[in-house]
Chain A
Amino acid sequence: GQSLEQPSEVTAVEGAIVQINCTYQTSGFYGLSWYQQHDGGAPTFLSYNGLDGLEETGRFSSFLSRSDSYGYLLLQELQMKDSASYFCASMTTDSWGKLQFGAGTQVVVTP
């Protein structure tokens, strides 16, 4: 089976840095993606890691360690608009494109 674990909620102030961890148990693991979803909206793609290491995209970075079955999303210079749910999602080799989502982390940014 597959499972992904991430914290349920994180609260931080504007300008701070937040790290959302994701541990996974996925057979045939291929890569880890991160999505942002605002209330009532569709998920939007943030970052993808197919290889170990850090991927940086503006204020958002994502990291993967295959040996530890672990990844994280780093949100820097937090803004109020970053208040949303963040999901890690794994992809496997047996079904290209198919995503298994974690439960999601609610990020609350306070003034």
Chain B
Amino acid sequence: GAVVSQHPSRVICKSGTSVKIECRSLDFQATTMFWYRQFPKQSLMLMATSNEGSKATYEQGVEKDKFLINHASLTLSTLTVTSAHPEDSSFYICSAYQSGHKPDTQYFGPGTRLTVL
């Protein structure tokens, strides 16, 4: 099956710094990528939908100025957590989807665990 990678897998940063997470589709072109956040023992919460070449669409309650998303190419989307605070510590997961395909052709990355001290 298709592979989606995320980098870094783990990151620890100080409060107030910014962290960039990359999501790459390795062997297919992803017209759409989704960013999720998952707190311990909870479900995946969709943060935003990222379409190549256009602005991301954010879910209600997600601050677009805090969580900057860039989808510059069909294989790369980045999520930047700006001025991170301890409450931003979470597991961030991206998924990549190829438009026009069946719903099961959405592939998840391995996730990035962010710890803000």
Which residues does A use to contact B, with CB under 8 Å?
A: 30-31, 33, 40-45, 48, 50, 87, 91, 95-104
Contacts and interface: CB of A to CB of B under 8 A. Distances in A.
Interface residues of B, number: 22
24 contacts: A31-B103, A33-B103, A40-B111, A40-B113, A41-B111, A42-B93, A42-B108, A42-B111, A43-B44, A43-B93, A43-B108, A45-B108, A48-B103, A50-B103, A87-B43, A96-B32, A97-B99, A97-B103, A97-B106, A101-B43, A101-B45, A102-B43, A103-B42, A104-B42
Contacts of B44: 43, 87, 99, 101
Interface of B: 32, 34, 42-46, 49, 93, 95, 97, 99, 102-104, 106-111, 113
Contacts of B93: 42-43
B46 A97 contact: no
Nearest to B57: A95
A95 B48 CA distance: 12
B34 A97 contact: yes
A33 B104 contact: yes
Contacts of B102: 48
B11 to A, nearest CB: 15
Q: Which of B32, B43, B102, B111 has the largest number of chain A CB atoms within 10 A?
A: B43
Given A42-B108, A42-B110, A45-B106, A95 B49 contact: yes
A111 to B, nearest CB: 24
